[in-house]
Structure 1
């Protein structure tokens, strides 16, 4: 279980504390830090290849960009608009949710946010009180526990590994449940592992949450990125009786290659959405109108551009899994969704590589960056040391070159 929000040192005068304990306890985003370091090295002329950020390498589709250009010219978009989102975008998100996941919601159940991270924070802020526990399967995306702790909640980690495909069981969830448990986090497809729960597995978790009166926060940002026989399943569509205690977060970033546009959303019961909207009205007010108009074109349009990107991701997925599994000491399960691999490198720790003996995956990631100029994210960032996360949302040539460098380096392990 993670520690609760730290308390300030009462022996120090408030005026002398420069940074609050609550904000001072926030860890930097490890994925963004790795990506920033890789980009800084590239800007300095180094041939760095970055597998750190979960960001499609494709440009945003032209029809979405054109919608933004037109929006810039329209004076309506030069003014404040409703804090909870453009009414027409909320309607379009509701329609898209029914189309893509079979979950019928009203526009009044939608809040448009500044990206998925704000959606996650505001969702937790709306339903958690200090001391409320959230069950967080690990490996987890770095932002989840930080958002929970910012609200005063307590993340309770349930660790999974490659032997179960990085999927948590109902038995594990039940073992972690206490009288303070309020929410279970459900993410499928998963960042960082690419794990996808089957319909039966998802239903079992949903029925367990129902049985114990728990809330579910489900992150559906990778809904369209599933491969092979894997299937995306939306919990409130699968179990309508769960909808009254389910909050869905989503956005345009991954599906439409719009990471920089910063448009996400929260879907949930009307009272929760009203509370989260009130919070946003004081925190940021409305999302940029131009970005909202672009998001409207995205969610109201067809999915042909999405299908093209998924085909490329699928090809890269198979390539990176094959190349990583060719390395002695690396075990890389094949992900079924998203655009990440999460190989175990436990067998390499402690071995000598170019005069060094990395004892942790963080030290190994640092060695890889220093020696062959390839940026990867260590498992420590996701709550499970002994692993690396690599995003395959980069060009085919860079992917092959980057993994090839890792292969040559780790072949020296003794």
Structure 2
């Protein structure tokens, strides 16, 4: 192989390709590599972790075709510092022989990077694809970012670790939803171009692909006929992800519709208080970080607590103003601190409407006053020694 390529084009691609590789400590060393193929005036690069495939194409002056897998860590580390250089890539034929080297030349410098045979690199699964459709990538990425935080971070939770996409018919909106069984985040979009489907996608590929959706503008989608794969494509890249297996829970059934208390809260004031209360975060993950909300006639009292065995101590207190939309009435409920802070961190500004059911052991519904398509349902927390929880 022999080709000439701009370092700036490689750097952009490798920032995303590196996120799709597996670390060097793996039973399959090839997964820590990036596949290179020089052909027809292009250099195509690809990375995979077996569940996610990302390929990127850049313009190149190709004098001799070739294909090999180069160590991703060394390849990116070298290219990152060469954005303003023109790189000459050379490898002897047949390329990719084990123990061979990729020679990289720029200016008066030369490097020899280890490579593996291209035929060891795993290719994406073959699939029969349904018809393609195009979606506004920025709109979709914005919606997905709003729900990511509510997915489970426990790898044993299977379907709950992903983002669920559901559209029942051409006339109905698209639901984008996550849940860890204690809370649920849901965005509803009117996207006519989106076909009916139900699919749950893992977080890791989405976190890699979201910036690409935003930059691309329009993104081309395809879903395999068996529903196990989804492909995205723009001008310079293409990605394929496997879907999570299992049945996503019937989330619409848990969205409450009747409430006893409804208040409007300023996001900035509540979020600032929660951030200050984070100083009482327990040292172990097994101990939940709780905060009590006490609704009063003209204010919301927020109380940070430290829990013991069968009791708790109030260690922090702040008061912020609220606006009642229901008849003012004293009400007390407790939540996990992160469950409120993470939602408000997504909303960031403006106001939210918090709706509570009569029982302080039932789910509450939170919405931004400026985005009715975005809903957050969260379960309360038990207080040690309290009754009725």
TM-score relative to the length of structure 1: 0.23
Asked which structure has the greater CA Rg, the reply is: 2
Q: Which has the higher helix share?
A: 1
